[in-house]
Structure 1
Amino acid sequence: MKLAVLILLVSSSLMAAPLTISLAPRADAPAESAAFAMGTAKNPSGSTLALDSRSLWLDGRRWTPAMGEFHYSRYPAAEWRNELLKMKAGGIDLVATYVFWIHHEEIEGQWDWSGQRDLRRFVKTAGEVGLKVIVRCGPWCHGEVRNGGLPDWIVARGNMRSDDPGYLASATRLYQQIAAQLGGLLWKEGGPVIGIQLENEYGGPAAHLLTLKRIAREAGLDVPIYTRTGWPALRTPMPFGEIIPLYGVYAEGFWDRELTSMPGNYWAGFHFSTLRTDANIANEALGRRDVQDAPDVARYPYLTCEIGGGMMSSYHRRILVDSRDIESTTLVKLGSGSVSPGYYMYHGGTNPEAKLTTLMESQATSLTNWNDLPEKNYDFQAPLGQYGQVRPQYHSLRRLHLFLHEWGDELAATSVSLPDVRPTGRDDVTTLRWAARADGASGFLFVNNYERSRELPPKPDVQFTLVLASGTRVPPADSGRSARLTFPSRPITVAPSAAFFWPFGLDLGGVTLTYATAQPITQIIADGARTVFFAETPGVPAEFAFDARETKVEAVRGEMTRDADRILVAALPAGREVALVLQPRKTPDHTVRIVLLSDADSRALWKGTWHGGERVFLAHDNLSFATDRVRIESTPGTSTAATASVYPAPAAKLRVNGANVASEPDGLFTRFTSRGVQSQITPVAFELVRAPGPLRHIQSARTQQPVAAAPIDADFADAAVWRIQLPRDLDLGTNPLLRLHYVGDVARVSIGGTFVTDDFYNGNALEIGLRRHADLLRAGELTIAILPLQKGAPIFFPESAKPEFEDRPAVAELQHVEVVTRPEVEL
């Protein structure tokens, strides 16, 4: 297949002729599938899971699942089901989880698979809610865990992460234990486990990974997919097809040694590129380096396992996540050739209790001692937080996942084309960042004008010209000739922070969309029509173009013009009503309807099964779906009641607690409202019970690349302490969050003297889910201890988080406390 793409940029200030950037035609080799040495692909029901060089395949169709990391041992088992349902509602298809060896065999020979360490129960629950699972087996995992997850007794014996017979004997027992936990839950047994990851960030000889694969298979871990991280480069080549490399990208990391914003090459994560390997991941261990992909990389599908869903703060680097970081890097990966986004982390957690030591990564240990992390908190500022908080990127990513569920198979069949003229490096902010993915006949155009911690200027007077191969569905499609498509009809300005993709030549079920300046989200067949939902691109007039010879168009809204070949509907306003009605001229009984949602509404679109059928929901509250029910979690500021609009509406009357649920039209949708269910924010009183003592001396760790060391327990004897006076009538059944707005260095929250969570200050409020700690709250008071943040401390902070020290040597302040209720209702 061949594709040539041009982009035209006109300078409004100079009014010069368009600058043409041309890509040479390219031809990709056919997808390769025969050479992969994976496990059993068919399950007892006959369903098959395989892969080729383009993507995964599920039941004979290309499959582009979204994968989210969630660590079972960092979350209470009683809450797993609800959180997995929230992940599924967010568009996640696969849950990935580490098995941290130290969480299960802290003392040699004493295995613990109970409570929140119950891997079997977690995987079984994931399968019950409809998620598939990839188990990251280690033995070394990292995950900001002590020793990277290796027990201390393994570290003491040495020769780790090698084919040393003693180490392999212990690793074999670990894999046998994992296999016993997963018995009956593997894909070939009808279970949800479709893959395992071997080791992590391993850069030694490939032979060791092959040894681990052999041990896993001998233990009974026979799965359709065996994976590894595609970084760093292996010391010796991996035989092709033995283990699938997966990739990642982070907007910014906590691990860098520099105390500056966006050090190294993080900027590259916001530029389209066919290079899969990221140079920034684990650079504290691997060093600053140039990276190259392995020579056979194009023979593997471009899968990811570590797109940063958020980021932790280390003691020396306090990272404050912007939700646009995650949406932008994910979109850039898709535009660069990736087909299945995998997030680390998608769900945050809390480190469990241990028998002998703390379990966080620390510079005080002898292995994996690059950074100091909080002792308890592993929230990761993820789409779903350590107490189930829903973050903005959860909604923006769901919008992408809905698209992949509908058109991911078409995306996976495309090739990537990049312009000849691309940004020259981190300081080139004027060249448009874009890419095209096409199969020679149709595809998607990706644009990114966002970069973390830098506002990129607007790009005025932009038009795109696509030159596509013969046989295209874009008119005119004369046999044997290439088609030329220019869009939009008039130049547009790409706004600062814009990140979007547009379709061209897209088949909408018998109707070919020539192009649209709007982003496709999802579609549903109901009421005798196919309804396709799009999101507006903020600041860009929405246009939809069709082949006049093939399609009849009724412009319900917007301005329609036509010529011999094309129908163009322009100036289409966003709304919840049907904007266009389309009919193929060859099959006039087939109807396609288009709904163009506002950007805000498009991030509030959901899809789930309810009342026996698949439906589309529009709700700014949070939804999840289970057993043909929809659960609505009310969120602050969205409504005076729990509301959800749905299409198509169920025929049955809805009742909650014996009362009818009010309904009313909402454009195409029907809005259902449950009164009396409303999130509330209530101020909470607090009092200082101990002033801060002398400032501690911040030392550097005694490591190879030392950075500032986090405080130890004894240092908190000089912390300022406040008592929080929770409302006596607080209903823990509303799953309330306590928000502590503070300024300081490190904060610790205790209830009745029990240390429950901590935080390295980065400008965010510290949030605690109170329902989880109901037993402790009945018996004791809640306090927060804050160590002062010292002026001039060797710590990186984002500008927005830096306090005003004025003449003070340090700051420790509890500024405001509030309770946010999260009531739920089921329909």
Structure 2
Amino acid sequence: MSWLEPLSVRHQAWATPLRRPRMSNDEDARPGVSLTNRYLSRDGVPVIPVSGELHYSRVPRERWAERLRQMKAGGVTVVATYVFWLHHSPQRGEARFGGGLDVGAFVDLAVETGLDVVLRIGPWCHGESRNGGFPDWVQHAPVRHRTDDPAYLELVTEWFAQISAAVGDRFGKVLGIQLENELYDQPRHLVTLKRLAREAGMSAPLWTATAWGGADLPEGEVLPLYGGYGDGFWVDADAPWDPTFRDHYFFSHVWDDAGIGADVRRAQAIEAASGGPRTPSEEFPPATCELGGGMATAYHRRPRPAALDVAAIAHCKIGNGSAWQGYYMYAGGTNPGPDLHESHATGYPNDIAPLGYDFHAPIGEAGTLAPSHAELRRQHAFLSAFGHRLAEMPSSLPDIRPSDVEDTTTLRWALRSDGKSGFLFVSWHQPHFPLPVHRGARFTVSLENEVLAFPSKPIDVPPGTLARWPLNLTAGGVTVTYATASALTLLPGDIPTLVLVAEPGIDVEIAVSDRVQTVTPGLTPVRLGGLDVLVLPAETAGSLWVAEDGGRRLLLTDDELQWDAAGTLTVKASRPADVRVYDSTIGAFTEVAVPRSPAPTLQPVTVEQLRPAAPTVPVSHGKHDGRPSAPAPEAFDELAAVYRLHLPDLAADPAGDPLLRITWAGDIGELRIDGRPVTDRYWDGAVWAVNLTDAGYRPGAQVTLHLLPLAAGSPVSVPVEARARLAATDTQLLALDSVEVVTRSTHTVELP
């Protein structure tokens, strides 16, 4: 498509008047919290919350505080967590809520960190857990599960009473409660669960339920929440990239996803209730709880989403009109014991790794930050700074839109506007089938009383572009008519600073009144009357952090930053730290004084092979419902190679927060300490990181690595790079490329 074919859009006003549902207004009202059919408001100000899933029972309690700070530094404002019945109650009458299962303490800590909390109380959760989170004694009970069967409700009533007792009076701090999960055809049962939860003493301004799969939800009783994954383990190993995944790389006003949970529905003979897509109700705004922050790895299918894959979906949802950005998972973890995972042996369509639940999340199982953390935190900084405006802006789709998910020619873009100002969103990325350069783009945006045409000359849009360009944005008494660089944040000051980030390969134009100027990105601002505009180079994007607590501040570093509700800054670095903060009074970045300490260390690990792998492993270890199954534990032990890892002394020093990094190739890896499995991984080409402190390593402990080869003809699906490596072998693939220990320094610093 050339620029002669118009890229035009007309602002569309809200289709329905502003409404305030009963929820949070007349029912479970809490001062300062109010829900409308367009947005959530806090203290009278519209907000767009960002929720991230973290399972407290899959993270060591000693790490909760750090994980919550890492989430906060990523721009997350709400932590969501499943309360897995399976983890808490191995037998009837026993309810364990101590140590790493202390949900009340977790709520306290989240609130202290400055985060809201959503509890997903089930009873059925899924979350890749055995029985969907039911303890075996519940799963095997002679009841009609997930219905209003009185015998089942008796069990649920006991469970809800146990949750309520554990959380106690902290429900006054809980923002939302999710009932059940992926329940498609029983709206009255959701009402019953809500009643039982209330009777048990639970309350929250928001009651939610998942709405995908055409779920039939009780009107007005629960806020419908949607999801969006760009790939998934729940399709067959030989399945192509499904349209239900591809849809999320386009702008649309359809929020349902018929693909999520489809395999479980099929296995349980459950049909999607409505038989087709459903947009949000007129009573509630479009909100999500499961945008793919990554993807779990099943044995038969092992997607590994790139950072841009994750960010593109989230970006599209904002452009679509999202009133709530919710990620699953945002932080990975480790199952708190053996045999707690979804598996073929327990009747599920998928074999999930028994222990490791990294999910390729922005915060991995080991607590390391994935590149998606940086991609998403820029979006979240934008929502924090401009969400109060954006929330009141409906989404409008362009006049010419892609014809279907195969369309790689028509530019993907959308407008959010109140008719006077707004933001233009461009998304030109998808995995698996790369997009070409889009040539000659020029936009025409019709607002209520004017038409904006920009940029001044056509531009080429490179693949990988995720843009959010401001239109008629006023700050410091200056109105920026348009800018072809993405809005990041707005820094306060006598002269405020609008911070933009350049798109790779796109010249930056800024128009104020009738004046259009081309700006060269850099680290110093351009003064436009009463407004400074700081246009940062595209290559700085991954190093940008915006702290909202203790006063909004812009920081630039390749190191990891964390902060809490007080704005106390923690720097974690695997090299000498280099952190800079922007000083708007002088219009420049200044160095942050980080204490000097012994340089972090990277040290190779001596590897001793104790036993070679079997000379030939089976191409298949069995099937379930047509899908390849993981080998049984005894088969794994018989066939896997065993290596002893001789770790250096620094591996046992918790002050260095040591990481074990394993670069390998094969089928399944398992790490054991003194014979006890501590984590595992299905190979997908990624580097495997293990936090040695969390894994329980102590001086003198024997650490063994068990690696199973992958047969050349294996039917499992692995990412294309891994598939190429497998294809290079004639027999079976097994390689241990490197093992190393990395330490990191941690410092709390004061900002100038």
TM-score band, normalised by shorter chain: over 0.9
Q: CA deviation at 1:370?
A: 1.5
Q: 1:796 maps to what in 2?
A: 717
1:621 maps to 2:559: yes
Give the equivalent residue in structure 2 for 1:810.
Answer: 732
Shift of 1:344: 0.1
Structure 2 distance, partners of 1:729, 1:234, is 52
Residue 167 of structure 1 corresponds to 152
Question: What is the alpha-carbon distance in structure 2 between the residues aligned to residue 806 and residue 309 of structure 1?
Answer: 31
C-alpha deviation, 1:37, in angstroms: 6.9
Whether the aligned pair in 1 keeps the contact of 2:621 and 2:631 (CA below 8 Å) is: no
Question: Which residue is equivalent to 2:465?
Answer: 498
Please give the secondary structure, in 1, of the residue aligned with 2:369: coil
Partner of 1:761: 683
- Distance between the aligned counterparts of 1:609 and 1:543, measured in 2? 28
Among 215, 226, 231, the alignment partner of 1:252 is 231
- Partners of 1:291 and 1:251 lie apart in 2 by 22
How far apart are the structure 2 equivalents of 1:603 and 1:744? 31
Assess, with a 3 A threshold, how the Cα gap between structure 1 residues 677 and 286 changes in structure 2: closer, same or farther.
farther
**Aligned counterpart in structure 1 of residue 431 of structure 2, from 452, 460, 466:** 452
Q: How does 1:362-401 map to 2 (within 5 A)?
A: 362-366=343-347, 369-401=348-380
Aligned to 2:501: 535
- Taking structure 1 as reference, are residues 695 and 10 closer, same or farther at Cα in structure 2, changes over 3 Å only? closer
C-alpha displacement of 1:331: 0.3
Instruction: Tell me how far apart the structure 2 counterparts of residues 39 and 698 of structure 1 sit (CA, whole Å).
Output: 58
Superposed CA offset, 1:685-721 (max 9, x none): 212210112524634444xx34111112101222111
Matched, 1:31 2:18: yes
- Give the aligned partner of residue 488 of structure 1: 455
> Is the CA contact 1:736–1:819 (under 8 Å) kept in the aligned structure 2?
yes
How much has 1:28 moved relative to structure 2? 2.4
How many Å apart are 1:40 and its aligned residue? Answer: 5.5
Q: Deviations over 1:223-272 (max 9, x none)?
A: 1000000122235x622x21100111001001112424523431111011
Paired positions, count: 738
Structure 2: state its 5+ residue gaps. Answer: none
Cα distance in structure 2, aligned partners of 1:353 and 1:296: 39
How far apart in 2 are the matches of 1:788 and 1:680?
31
- How many Å apart are 1:673 and its aligned residue? 4.7
Q: Which amino acid aligns with 2:578?
A: T
Give the aligned partner of residue 546 of structure 1: 512
Checking the alignment, whether the CA contact within 8 Å between 1:752 and 1:780 is kept in structure 2 is: yes
SS of the counterpart of 2:195? helix
Name the residue aligned to 1:409: 388
User: Counterparts of 1:666 and 1:23 in 2: how far apart (Å)?
Assistant: 37
Q: Distance in 2 between matches of 1:20 and 1:701?
A: 50
Contact map agreement 1:443 1:505 (CA 8 A) in 2? yes
Q: AA paired with 1:582?
A: L
Q: Is contact 2:110-2:117 (8 Å) kept?
A: yes
Q: Separation in 2 of the partners of 1:18 and 1:806? A: 46
1:577 corresponds to 2:577: no
Alignment counterpart, residue 229 of structure 1, candidates 210, 225, 236? 210
| Preserved CA contact (<8 Å) 1:616 1:646 | yes
Name which of 250, 256, 264 aligns with 1:285. Answer: 264
Give the distance between the partners of 1:196 and 1:521, measured in 2 at CA: 31
1:169 Cα shift?
0.8
Alpha carbons 2:712, 2:729 under 8 Å: kept: no
Assess if the C-alpha contact under 8 Å between 2:554 and 2:582 holds in 1.
yes
Paired residues of 1:196 and 1:227 also in contact (CA < 8 A): yes
Distance 2:374 2:230 in 1: 18
Quote the residue 1:207 is aligned against.
Answer: 188
The residue matched to 1:183 in structure 2 has which SS? helix
| TM-score with structure 2 setting the length | 0.94
Among 166, 169, 193, the alignment partner of 1:184 is: 169
- Pick aligned residue for 1:709 from 629, 635, 655: 629
Cα 1:335–1:721, aligned 2, differ >3 Å: closer, same or farther?
A: same
Matched, 1:267 2:205: no
Q: Which residue of 1 aligns with 2:127?
A: 143
Percent identity over the alignment?
Answer: 36
Q: Any conservation in 2 of the 1:259–1:316 contact (CA below 8 Å)?
A: no
Counterpart CA distance in 2 for 1:533 and 1:717 is: 58
Counterpart of 1:380, as a letter, is: F
Report the Cα distance in structure 2 between the residues aligned to 1:697 and 1:22, rounded to whole angstroms.
Answer: 54
Match of residue 220, structure 1, among 190, 201, 211: 201
The alignment partner of 1:305 has SS state of strand
Which of the numbers 305, 308, 311 marks the counterpart of 1:324? 308
Q: Pick closer, same or farther for the CA change 1:723–1:808 going to 2, 3 Å.
A: farther
What CA distance in whole angstroms lies between the structure 1 residues aligned with 2:602 and 2:747?
18
Q: CA RMSD for the aligned pairs?
A: 2.2
| Aligned residue number for residue 111 of structure 2 | 127
Secondary structure of 1:231's counterpart equals: coil
CA offsets per residue over residues 438-493 of structure 1, 9 Å max, x none? Answer: 111111111111001121001111100112112xxxxxxxxxxxx12111111100
Classify 1:436/1:816 alpha carbon distance in 2 versus 1 (closer, same or farther; 3 Å).
same
Q: Structure 2: which amino acid aligns with 1:169?
A: E
Shift of 1:635: 3.8
Can you list the C-alpha shifts for 1:113-136, whole angstroms capped at 9, x where unaligned? 111111111111101111110000
Greater Cα offset, 485-494 or 618-627: 618-627
SS of aligned partner of 2:460: strand
- Residue-by-residue CA offset, 1:302-331 (whole Å, 9 max, x unaligned): 111000000111000011120111110000
- Where does residue 195 of structure 1 map in the other structure? 176
> For the residues of structure 1 that align with 2:7 and 2:351, how far apart are their CA atoms?
50
Q: How far apart in 2 are the matches of 1:380 and 1:395?
A: 17
Partner Cα distance (1:373, 1:737) in 2: 24
What are the within-5 Å matches in structure 2 for residues 505-516 of structure 1?
505-516=472-483
3-state DSSP of counterpart to 1:268: helix
Shift of 1:509: 4.0
More relative contact order, 1 or 2 (CA 8 Å, 6+ apart): 2
* Equivalent AA in structure 1 for residue 469 of structure 2: W
Which digits, 9 at most, give the CA deviation of each residue in 1:482-510, with x for residues without a partner? Answer: x1211111110000121111110112243
1:10 aligns with 2:25: no
1:567 aligns with 2:521: no
Equivalent residue in structure 2 for 1:744, among 666, 675, 681: 666
Structure 1 CA distance, aligned partners of 2:215 and 2:305?
A: 31
SS in structure 1 at match of 2:439: strand
